[in-house]
Amino acid sequence: MAYRLEQLGVRFVFNDRAIGYHYVARSFDSWMATPYAYGRNDVIFTYQKGQDWLLPTVLQEYEERQALVRILTRLCLDRPRLSRISITAINWIARWAASLHLSNLPRIAYSGIFNLRYYQGVADELNGRPHFYQAVKQANSDETA
């Protein structure tokens, strides 16, 4: 809807004091499907919906992600078994940390899973790992040119 509103000339303004709450009950598998769909959709929106800026921005921002997110992504893209093992282990760590009331560790762990699933969606829509990393390289060389 936001893309259609923008095409109609609606202007969006960022308000850093705005607070939004989103309460939803879903399974872990359902939650993991969300960033994956976001990643695929960002590629689709770039090529099919005329959002030419979107994918280059996503790929440039990839290089700015935390090192652990980039390492996890590099290890797991196009490796479904390793990805499942990694996500299971990270989820276990997050649940363990939450049971000990270590508030930052679960947030960091779930952020890592979310980012991994997002980049898996991007990579799958780009036809796999080699195309993903070639696109990252291209986007970042375009930025410096």
**Domain-located, residue 107:** yes
Give Cα separations from 89 to 14, 20, 36, 93, 133 (angstroms). 36, 30, 19, 6, 25
**Domain-located, residue 47:** yes
115 close to 62: Cβ distance less than 8 angstroms: no
What tens-digit pLDDT sequence spans the chain (145 residues)?
Answer: 777 788 889 988 888 898 888 888 899 999 999 999 999 999 999 999 888 999 999 999 999 999 999 999 999 999 999 999 999 999 999 999 999 999 899 999 999 999 999 999 999 999 999 999 999 999 988 776 5
**Domain-located, residue 15:** no
**Domain-located, residue 19:** no
As a whole number of angstroms, the distance between CA 54 and CA 46 comes to: 6
Whole-model pTM? 0.84
Give DSSP secondary structure letters for 34-94. HHHHHHHHHHHHHHHS--TTHHHHHHHHHTTS-HHHHHHHHHHTT-HHHHHHHHHHHHHHH
